[in-house]
């Protein structure tokens, strides 16, 4: 019996991991410049957390969650996204409260959605996300969008397009939902079963149904921007103005509603036309009621998440860092002991070094050094050992030098021997 990974869930193999490390490390460094600190939450949460935040009638909660009962009859779910867990954790550990509402965090890790796997869409995928709590100001929205744009540029993605919209809040949303209800009513019987339920209870969710028939039926829906009142309109104008000042290009997409229920006012997506149907590389928005809805104080928030797999499909290979990698080859038992000592010293000095565990022919060791892309090989044989010397082959310079064994580390650290 040969086992395979589950459909839509993939191994990240050694050859691919440098790219992952590059985007993750760049995120850590870039987000730290804006004062974001890392938070790590469990990948499993109680199911109601997601139903309450992402929304009971969303596709994510209705169709895509990996939910199971554990032995205490508790319903648990593999997290489909990170924001709900971050808010849960921030409330639980009192990281945000009425007297101290500010918190900036970021997170990296796997998320789970049982969607139909296709290009750029997986069942286990990875997000890099960031959340900023404590301010309703449009500057907070613009700052987090600018942080994300700067990050995408830094990792080498230049051809993104940013789409923004405002979903309003409170009674603006209610008025819009009523208008949508009326708009869908004439074709109600032609929508899928889920959407017929949504039309009654949460018509906004019809707009992100993946059923092609429902998409066609709803494509000319009214725009939410027409329902904004002066305060939300002014908020959106300030977000746009600040993005202009920060030189972050954007376009307004009045049809964008996002697939999660917690958003209010600003929503945004970074898209690429190189991704096919799954065009969003990163997305987010403002969620001013979520903390309160999950039992915390009345604290606003804004954030985003990047899909790492999608990002990696778009950026090229990171430039390899020019560093030495040394292979220590040995011949004979006495040379083996000395070679191990040399390898140990080289690694102690922060230089990468490989050595065989078993004695092999010189030819086989050189072949291995080549396979491992080593830059230098140190050869220590019985004869060299007697003279206290080693041969050093430099593969890129195509030179061979005799170096005293006692000076081998300083040779590699400074590349000079006197």
Binding residues (CB under 6 A) for ligand HAM: these are: 81-83, 113, 115, 121-122, 125, 127, 129, 131, 259-260, 280-285, 303-305, 307, 309-310
Q: Give residue number: closest CB to ligand HAM.
A: 307
Minimum distance, C-beta of residue 120 to ligand HAM, in the bound complex (Å):
6
Q: What pairs with residue 122 in β-bridges? A: none
CA atoms 286, 200, 253, 157: torsion sign = positive
d(CA 128, CA 126): 7
Minimum distance, C-beta of residue 413 to ligand HAM, in the bound complex (Å):
43
d(CA 174, CA 191): 22
Q: Supply angle C-alpha 209, 293, 123, rounded to 5.
A: 40
**Residue closer to ligand HAM, measured from CB, 261 or 309:** 309
**Residue closer to ligand HAM, measured from CB, 130 or 405:** 130
Number of Cβ within 10 Å of residue 32's Cβ equals 13
d(CA 52, CA 287): 13
83's tokens = 């924001």
Minimum distance, C-beta of residue 388 to ligand HAM, in the bound complex (Å):
58
d(CA 301, CA 299): 7
**Residue closer to ligand HAM, measured from CB, 101 or 129:** 129
* Cβ-based burial of 212 (10 A; exposed 0-12, middle 13-18, buried ≥19): exposed
For residue 266, which of 253, 249, 281, 277 has the smallest C-alpha distance?
253
**Residue closer to ligand HAM, measured from CB, 130 or 335:** 130
Listing DSSP states for 161-230 in one string gives EEEEEE---HHHHHHHHHHHHHHHHTTGGGS-HHHHHHHHH-GGGGGG---HHHHHHHTTPPPGGGG--H
Residue corresponding to tokens 């746009």: 240
**Residue closer to ligand HAM, measured from CB, 122 or 236:** 122
Length of the chain: 418
d(CA 94, CA 108): 22
Assess contact for 258 and 282: CB atoms under 8 A.
Answer: no
Minimum distance, C-beta of residue 271 to ligand HAM, in the bound complex (Å):
9
**Residue closer to ligand HAM, measured from CB, 203 or 285:** 285
* Cβ-based burial of 44 (10 A; exposed 0-12, middle 13-18, buried ≥19): middle
Listing DSSP states for 62-96 in one string gives III--EEE-TTS-EEEE-S-SHHHHHHHHHHTTSS
Minimum distance, C-beta of residue 54 to ligand HAM, in the bound complex (Å):
8
**Residue closer to ligand HAM, measured from CB, 283 or 329:** 283
Minimum distance, C-beta of residue 82 to ligand HAM, in the bound complex (Å):
6
Minimum distance, C-beta of residue 146 to ligand HAM, in the bound complex (Å):
15
Minimum distance, C-beta of residue 256 to ligand HAM, in the bound complex (Å):
11
Minimum distance, C-beta of residue 272 to ligand HAM, in the bound complex (Å):
10
**Residue closer to ligand HAM, measured from CB, 55 or 284:** 284
Assess contact for 393 and 402: CB atoms under 8 A.
Answer: no
**Residue closer to ligand HAM, measured from CB, 195 or 290:** 290
């Amino acid at each position: 019996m040969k086992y395979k990974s589950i459909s839509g869930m993939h191994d990240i193999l050694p050859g691919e991991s440098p790219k992952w490390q590059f985007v993750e490390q760049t995120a850590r460094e870039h987000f730290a410049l804006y004062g974001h600190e890392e938070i790590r939450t469990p990948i499993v949460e109680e199911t109601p957390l997601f139903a309450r935040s992402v929304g009971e009638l969303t596709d994510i909660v209705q169709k895509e969650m990996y939910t199971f009962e554990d032995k205490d009859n508790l319903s648990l779910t593999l997290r489909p996204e990170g924001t709900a867990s971050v808010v849960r954790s921030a409330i639980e550990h009192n990281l945000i409260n009425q007297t101290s509402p500010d918190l900036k965090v970021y997170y990296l890790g796997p998320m789970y959605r049982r969607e139909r796997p296709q290009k750029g869409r997986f069942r286990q995928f990875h997000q890099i996300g960031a959340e900023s709590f404590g301010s309703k100001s449009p500057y907070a929205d613009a700052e987090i969008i600018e942080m994300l744009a700067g990050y995408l540029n830094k990792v080498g993605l230049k051809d993104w397009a940013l789409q923004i919209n405002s979903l309003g809040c409170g009674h603006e949303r209610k008025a819009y939902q009523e208008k949508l209800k009326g708009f869908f009513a004439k074709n109600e019987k032609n929508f899928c079963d889920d959407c017929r339920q949504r039309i009654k209870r949460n018509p906004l969710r019809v707009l992100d149904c993946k059923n092609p028939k429902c998409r066609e039926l709803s494509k000319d829906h009214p725009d939410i921007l027409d329902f904004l009142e002066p305060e939300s309109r002014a908020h959106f104008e300030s977000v746009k103005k600040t993005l202009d000042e920060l030189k972050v290009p954007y376009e307004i997409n009045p049809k964008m509603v996002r697939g999660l229920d917690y958003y209010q006012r600003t929503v945004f997506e970074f898209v690429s036309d190189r991704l096919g149907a799954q065009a969003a590389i990163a997305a987010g928005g403002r969620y001013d009621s979520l903390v309160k809805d999950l039992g915390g104080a009345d604290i606003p928030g804004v954030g985003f998440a990047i899909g790492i797999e999608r990002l990696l499909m778009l950026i090229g290979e990171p430039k390899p860092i020019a560093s030495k990698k040394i292979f220590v080859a040995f011949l004979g038992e006495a040379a083996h002991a000395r070679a191990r000592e040399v390898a140990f010293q080289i690694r102690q000095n922060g230089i990468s070094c490989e050595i065989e565990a078993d004695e092999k022919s010189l030819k086989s060791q050189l072949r291995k050094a080549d396979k491992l892309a080593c830059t230098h090989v140190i050869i220590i044989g019985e004869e060299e050992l007697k003279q206290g010397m080693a041969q050093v082959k430099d593969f890129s310079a195509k030179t061979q030098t005799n170096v005293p064994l006692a000076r081998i580390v300083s040779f590699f650290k400074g590349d000079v021997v006197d």
